[in-house]
Amino acid sequence: MPEVSAPPIDIPDEELRELRHATGNRYTVVKRLGSGGMAHVYLARHAVLGRPLVIKVLHRTLAQEAEMRERFRREAEAAARLVHPYICAIADMGTSGDIEYLAMPYYAGGSLADLLSRRKTVSASTAASIAVQVASGLDYAHRHGVVHRDIKPDNILFDEDGNVALTDFGIATARFHGRLTASGRAMGTPHYMSPEQAMGRLVDGRSDLYAVGLLLYEMLLGHPPFDGEDSYAVGYKHVHETPLAPDQVDTRVPAALSAIVMKCLNKQAAERYDRGFELADALVQFLSAGGGLDYRNARIARATGLTPL
């Protein structure tokens, strides 16, 4: 377990006081880890249990919008009901003044984005092993009526053993509802959004599975299939262009895995895998054929630089 008992740093006094007041001194805030499009992210320690946690605080400008605050709370409550080995649990949530926050476990293995920044690519078996867990977690969420809508490397975390945890269900869903339904604009991360997201249409779980295909593509080749000078250019390509299959770009990519990726990336949602378990089953069959069926063994831990306990 990482040590997080260092004194608070990198946080303005006023912001720190507000956060401490909002959490009722239940947590010792250590430092800000970063910021995303929806929230600031802090490393903290539970004041009684001593375990490390991550606290995500909704950006003040968003927290000042009554509709966004209400959607954030509702979606966070829905996400908190998701209890699955491959979904990051929401441990706590609360509000005080302009502060809206979520608390969740700290994952020592970092994110898939961290892994790809170090390694650029991973082996076919490692990519499939990670994707099996992502698809399994998504299948559970979809069966419980929750669509993520922002699956990307930053939202795929690893624990000490290299097991996957999907994060930001509540935040991503609140952003989608609060913005898309109000304005008709596409919401999501451009490189990882589905064609239907890029067109500002309503989505279902198959949009998340398209994003899993994008993750696989990037893990295998070192880059997402589409890029452009701005979000509109990238979105246009998601809607109108078909990428080269991974095994056409790099012949070392197994054809069977490449076919799975391309099925995920079909422009028509009806032609993709219909459910997360179908994608997971296809990936398990690929791993089994290649001798890599045990997708929770040390392979992912080695890839993330961790040692299995």
List of residues 6+ apart from 129 with CB closer than 8 A: 287, 292, 295, 296, 299, 300
Q: Count the neighbouring beta carbons within 10 Å of the beta carbon of residue 294.
A: 11
Query: Is the domain 13-105 a CATH 3.90.1150.10 member?
Result: no
Question: Quick check: 191 and 224 in contact, CB under 8 A?
Answer: yes
Can 13-105 and 112-304 be said to share one CATH topology?
no
Looking at residue 18, its pLDDT comes to 81
Q: Residue 207 is encoded by which pair of tokens?
A: 């949009």
- Residue-by-residue DSSP string for 297-308: SHHHHHHHT---
Residue 237 to residue 58: CA distance in whole angstroms: 31
Looking at residue 96, its pLDDT comes to 81
Q: Residue 153 is encoded by which pair of tokens?
A: 């490397």
- DSSP annotation of 120 reads S
3-state secondary structure of 35: strand
Residue 44 to residue 31: CA distance in whole angstroms: 7
Distance, CA of 143 to chain centre:
18
Residue 298 to residue 162: CA distance in whole angstroms: 7
Task: Name the residue ranges covered by the structural domains of the chain.
Answer: 13-105, 112-304
The binding site comprises 56
3-state secondary structure of 10: coil
Q: Residue 249 is encoded by which pair of tokens?
A: 């770009």
Phi, psi of 100 (to 5 degrees): -125, 125
The binding site for ATP comprises 56
**Residue 9: is it exposed, middle or buried by C-beta count within 10 angstroms (0-12/13-18/19+)?**
exposed
Q: Which residues are catalytically annotated?
A: 150
Any idea which fold 112-304 has?
Transferase(Phosphotransferase); domain 1 (1.10.510)
* Per-residue pLDDT in tens (0 to 9) along the chain, 309 residues: 333 333 334 455 676 778 878 887 788 888 888 887 778 888 999 988 989 999 988 888 888 888 778 877 877 887 888 999 999 998 898 888 778 888 999 999 999 999 999 999 999 999 999 999 999 999 999 999 889 988 999 999 999 889 999 998 866 564 545 444 333 444 568 899 999 999 989 899 999 999 999 999 999 999 999 999 999 999 999 999 999 999 999 999 999 999 999 999 999 999 999 999 999 999 999 999 975 555 444 444 444 444 332
Looking at residue 93, its pLDDT comes to 87
